[in-house]
């Protein structure tokens, strides 16, 4: 049998790679920073090459480290699940899912009791950080993202089709100078999500105002905060129809009687081989059924 490095060294490497910090990884593993550093260094000596670029207090994977992480992180996660399942006394399946906070709040969380009832053995680790697609296979099994399209090398299932809504505070239409015409946007701030950067420009072109410029454009990486900013009168949010309808916020109204198809949709995405894993397949099939009336 070929000799392997200590499992503790592999675990230390994966944690540092994921967290980007010796201190944070040490806290996660309940070790001192020097002890964790020694474990990472022992793995580097075993392999015979450095795995990180060391920058002051932070560590960044080099090319060799990226390659190693991609190969061993899924195996380590599978081992962790196997041990957890054995010690719990029941079969336990775990899905590591990346999902945008607004989708999670509006459309996923209200349905999770149904999933738990149908598959009580399936547990979710929910990750709301950005760049979910880029991290597939590195601590993530699947992702629910919003995008125009998805890399054809990945498995992707469109979850909806949508229209762009212009969303603002109710006071904008009930005040002394109500906002009723798109031209009035020239005096207002447009709120745009970083994952949907073309929403405003596509809307103004489809609405017949290709030269319209707002007073400013503010970018958000949180749909929840965009809705709140709009409700507080901080700007006009260019979001999806489903976002507005699911918010059920009496402070918000749809501005203008214009229907513009959105270039963006929500997608379920994973690596093709991940569909052969039971947790991924179970969640995928349940999600498609749960959103059946909304799916393309």
The tens place of each residue's pLDDT in the chain, 296 residues long, gives: 567 888 888 888 888 887 778 887 888 788 888 888 999 999 999 999 899 887 766 678 888 888 888 888 777 777 776 666 665 555 688 999 999 999 999 999 999 999 999 999 999 999 988 788 888 887 899 999 999 889 988 999 999 888 899 999 999 998 788 999 999 999 999 999 998 898 999 899 988 889 999 999 999 988 999 999 999 999 999 999 889 988 899 999 999 887 788 889 999 999 988 888 899 999 999 999 998 744 44
Strands, E, within 62-210: which ranges? 93-99, 122-127, 142-147, 155-158, 163-169, 189-193
- CATH class for the domain made up of 163-261: alpha beta
pLDDT at 295: 41
What's the CA gap between 241 and 163, in Å, rounded? 5
pTM above 0.75, yes or no: no
CA–CA separation, 104 and 98 (whole Å): 10
Q: Do domains 91-160+265-290 and 163-261 have the same CATH topology?
A: yes
CATH topology of domain 7-75: Arc Repressor Mutant, subunit A (1.10.10)
Q: Which fold has domain 91-160+265-290?
A: D-Maltodextrin-Binding Protein; domain 2 (3.40.190)
And the tokens for 211? Answer: 């030269």
Total count of residues recorded for the chain: 296
Residues 6 or more apart in contact with residue 251 via CB below 8 angstroms = 169, 170, 231
């Amino acid at each position: 049998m070929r000799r392997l490095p200590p499992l503790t060294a592999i675990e230390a490497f994966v944690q540092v790679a994921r967290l980007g910090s010796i201190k944070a990884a040490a806290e996660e593993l309940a070790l001192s920073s020097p002890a964790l550093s020694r474990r990472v260094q022992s793995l580097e000596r075993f392999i015979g090459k450095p795995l990180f670029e060391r920058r002051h207090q932070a560590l960044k994977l080099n090319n060799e480290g990226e390659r190693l992480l991609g190969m061993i992180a899924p195996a380590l996660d599978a081992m962790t699940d196997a041990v957890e399942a054995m010690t719990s006394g029941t079969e336990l399946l775990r899905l590591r899912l990346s999902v945008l906070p607004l989708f999670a709040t509006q459309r996923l969380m209200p349905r999770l009791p149904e999933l738990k009832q149908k598959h009580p053995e399936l547990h979710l680790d929910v990750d709301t950080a950005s760049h979910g697609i880029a991290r597939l296979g590195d601590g993530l099994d699947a992702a629910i993202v919003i995008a125009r399209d998805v890399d054809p090398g990945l498995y992707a299932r469109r979850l909806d089709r949508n229209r762009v809504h212009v969303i603002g505070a109710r006071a904008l239409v009930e005040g002394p100078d109500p906002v009723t015409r798109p031209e009035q946007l020239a005096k207002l701030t447009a709120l745009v999500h970083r994952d949907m950067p073309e929403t405003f420009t596509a809307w103004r072109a489809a609405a017949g105002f290709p030269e319209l410029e707002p007073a400013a454009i503010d970018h958000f990486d949180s749909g929840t905060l965009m809705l709140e900013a709009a409700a507080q009168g901080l700007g006009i949010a260019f979001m999806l129809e489903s976002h507005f309808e699911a918010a059920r916020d009496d402070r918000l109204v749809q501005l203008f009687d214009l229907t513009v198809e959105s270039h963006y949709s929500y997608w379920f995405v994973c690596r093709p081989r991940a569909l052969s894993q039971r947790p991924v397949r179970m969640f995928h099939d349940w999600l498609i059924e749960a959103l059946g009336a909304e799916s393309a």
